[in-house]
Amino acid sequence: MDKRNELIKEWIHKADHDIGMAKLAIEHKAEYTDLICFHCQQAVEKYLKAYLVHLNIVFRKTHSLSYLLDLINEMDKISDQMYSMVEVLESYAVEMRYPDDWYEPTEHETREAYSIAIKIRKYILEKIAL
């Protein structure tokens, strides 16, 4: 296996761990909505980075999902629906981790974040098809 495919698999592995933590928390500590949303955002960020590696697109270190989608969009058209989904997750990258300007996502927001992460995972894995 070449280095690029290995790196793609590593990004997916890490993303799967984030989504797995979100699932565990939903099932056992659903009140930890901030951490669930954070892990959903992190998972999507890593799935997008895996796809960027697959497309051989260089990207800077960032938590911006819209930036990552913009890079992908240059080679593979991204739907408005996908942009709308990542917009929901965008604020969960950093804001969730610190007490200033912090809020507690609702159960509905948390389930939406998880659902979005699952949909994007499926989309990316179908695109990569390793």
Task: List phi, psi (to 5°) of 102.
Answer: -95, 145
Residues whose CB is less than 8 angstroms from the CB of residue 18 and which lie 6 or more positions away in sequence, other chains included: 39, 40, 42, 43, 46
pLDDT at 101: 67
Residues whose CB is less than 8 angstroms from the CB of residue 20 and which lie 6 or more positions away in sequence, other chains included: none
Extents of the domains making up the chain: 3-128
pTM for this predicted structure? 0.94
- The pLDDT averaged over each successive group of 10 residues in the chain (130 residues) is 92 98 96 95 98 97 96 96 96 75 87 98 94
pLDDT at 117: 99
Q: Select from 1.10.10.10, 3.30.2350.10, 1.20.120.330, 3.40.630.30 the CATH code of 3-128.
A: 1.20.120.330
Residue of 129, 130, 99, 121 lying closest to 39 (CA atoms): 121
pLDDT at 130: 72
Q: Are 72 and 47 in contact (CB under 8 A)?
A: no
